[in-house]
Amino acid sequence: MFISIHSLNFEELSYFTDNFLKKITHFVQNLLLYLSFKGIKILFKMNKYLLLLHEQAELMQNLSPTEMEELIESHMAWSRQLAEEGHLLAGEGLQDHGITITGNDSIVGNSTYLEAKEMIGGFYLIQAKDLDSAIAIAKNCPCHHWGGTTEIRPAAVYDGE
């Protein structure tokens, strides 16, 4: 059956479009449900968040080999979980030293945390629906079990993205 939209009055057109949108919405919901049962994940546009893992430098330096192994394995397991859930974009542990480049003259210097109380021990780049979702995800970060702090930094969004 074909209907000419030009021959419909406003009430008929409104009824037609409302029913059409309901049917499309119902179809999409059923499709997503079916795909989830098949194990297929559909990710919609999500926001990016950088999780910076602030660690207590002295505590990290004094971990036993067994504790360090537990720390690494807990991060590996959490990374796998984030990946399976479609949240993980990237993540790495960081060494306790680095290089800084400062000012207009690009002065190169050493950056070490050996004398600092806190260090950035690693990062995760995740995607989440919104900041509240990113907070919920970050609360499960293994760094908290060793006295660490997770800083959440939303990625900037520019026009046209």
**Residue-wise pLDDT tens digits, 3-21:** 555 565 666 656 666 677 7
Does 81 reside within a domain? yes
Identify the pLDDT of residue 116: 67
Selection from 91, 82, 79 nearest residue 128 by Cα: 82
Identify the pLDDT of residue 70: 93
Query: What does pLDDT average to over the chain?
Result: 82
Distances (CA, A) of 13 to 4, 20, 49, 143: 10, 10, 43, 57
CA distance 84 to 120: 25
Whether residue 62 sits in one domain with residue 27: no
Whether residue 56 sits in one domain with residue 26: no
Whether residue 100 sits in one domain with residue 69: yes
Whether residue 80 sits in one domain with residue 20: no
User: Confidence class of residue 145 from pLDDT cuts 50, 70 and 90?
Assistant: confident
